[in-house]
Structure 1
Amino acid sequence: MSEPILEPVTLETDRLILRAPVPADIDAIFAACQDEEIQRWTVVPSPYRRADAEFFVDRLATEGWATGRNPIWCVVEKQTGALVGTQSLAARGPGAAEVGYWTAAEARGRGYGLEALHAVCRWGVAERDLRRLEWVAYVGNEPSLALARKAGFTLEGTLRSYAAQRGAYLDAWMGSLLASELAI
């Protein structure tokens, strides 16, 4: 087995810890991904099975960190240790990466997604030398659009038949945040 290109990194904010997923997170990820909104607006399988959470932790997140191509974090509340969401940063070419995120239903409206997204963007620019952060969401995902805008992303347009979801290609919005626009 080859050496990892990127060791998992833990990020910390005032209220949150962002860390690599571990097997102890499987039940919480499974429970959160039962939410119809997460299934509607992301690429998680629907219906979402416990085996899908196991794959996410044991394979997708592990390989994402090992290759350095898609670091994935579980976002947990410092005070309670509760899983409140996930964040990811998938490589999209030299100096560019796409942010991805979901927030658990019971944690929405508390600013956790924005706080975590800021941390991931700052890390990407400072540690991965990113010049461009991209955000993509299926057309109609207004909560994701609102969060991206609050984080400073500029909506660039609609990409027709762009983003795959369960065998279909859907129209997607794309936005960007440049390193020069990010307050580190």
Structure 2
Amino acid sequence: MPLAITPAVPAGALSSAPQPAVPVGGGELLLRPWEAADAPVLEAAFRDETIRRWHMRHVTSPAEARERIAASHRAWREERDAEWAIARADGEVLGRAGLRRMDLVHGEAECAYWVLPQARGTGVAPRALAALAAWALDEAGFHRLELAHSTANEPSCRVAAKCGFTLEGTRRSAHRQPDGWHDMHLHARIQGDC
């Protein structure tokens, strides 16, 4: 059945080219596609208690890390998700930023990120999220980006606010964590914000 609307992001608009590297303000950081050589860093990240607390799927072996990286490349080609390593100019990986559940017809996606312990509190997360949002809204053509986090995850709330993601409300008992059901803040940024 044909669509009654023109897709916000035409099918193939992303996958017709390699996943881009996205400069992060100032030039000392870069969002770049994950590489096979990053597998040890990805595996080590999920040994961090904070990352484990807020993520339901964990990488627990070198094979899982390699598969997650390969899956991120497939997701780009299939225009479902997009994941980047947050890296310094020297190549050191400091975290992850990504778009999940990309809906090209409506031009919507959900932002996700984490930062390794040594980079927390240094502005890496807000700078990476701001660069990701600018690329998604201004270059890729998405109309709306959402960001959801547990109401108990105050650092994520601060990052969202710093990057112009408006708090739209609280989804009650919306996400199950190992310690039970969590209320979730829903933030969003649309084209033209900030």
**TM-score, length of structure 1 as denominator length:** 0.86
* Deviation readout 1:85-123 (Å, 9 max, x if unpaired): 010012146121110000011111111111111111011
Give the aligned partner of residue 38 of structure 2: 25
Give the aligned partner of residue 9 of structure 1: 20
Question: Against the structure 1 CA distance between its residues 54 and 179, is the aligned structure 2 distance closer, same or farther, given a 3 Å change threshold?
Answer: same
Could you tell me which amino acid in structure 2 is paired with residue 48 of structure 1? Answer: T
**Which residues in structure 2 correspond to 1:140-155 (within 5 Å)?**
140-155=152-167
Match of 1:73 among 63, 69, 84: 84
Q: CA deviation at 1:142?
A: 0.7
Task: Structure 2: state its 5+ residue gaps.
Answer: 1-11
2:118 is the counterpart of 1:106: yes
Q: Counterparts of 1:105 and 1:176 in 2: how far apart (Å)?
A: 26
Q: CA deviation at 1:145?
A: 0.7
Matched positions, count? 176
Q: CA deviation at 1:64?
A: 1.9
**What is the SS of the residue equivalent to 1:180?**
coil
Q: Counterparts of 1:161 and 1:121 in 2: how far apart (Å)?
A: 27
Q: Counterparts of 2:148 and 2:21 in 1: how far apart (Å)?
A: 24
Could you tell me which amino acid in structure 1 is paired with residue 156 of structure 2? Answer: S
- Runs ≥4 in structure 1, deviation > 2 angstroms? 3-7, 47-52, 160-166, 168-171
* Deviation readout 1:156-176 (Å, 9 max, x if unpaired): 11112323557x764311111
Q: Counterparts of 1:5 and 1:43 in 2: how far apart (Å)?
A: 31
Question: Against the structure 1 CA distance between its residues 22 and 119, is the aligned structure 2 distance closer, same or farther, given a 3 Å change threshold?
Answer: same
Match of 1:115 among 109, 113, 127: 127
Q: CA deviation at 1:43?
A: 2.6
Q: Counterparts of 1:102 and 1:159 in 2: how far apart (Å)?
A: 21
Q: Counterparts of 1:157 and 1:63 in 2: how far apart (Å)?
A: 33
Q: CA deviation at 1:44?
A: 3.0
Match of 2:99 among 70, 89, 92: 89
2:179 is the counterpart of 1:172: no
Q: Counterparts of 1:163 and 1:71 in 2: how far apart (Å)?
A: 22
Q: Counterparts of 2:188 and 2:138 in 1: how far apart (Å)?
A: 17
Q: Counterparts of 1:151 and 1:35 in 2: how far apart (Å)?
A: 25
Alignment identity in percent?
31
Give the aligned partner of residue 35 of structure 1: 48
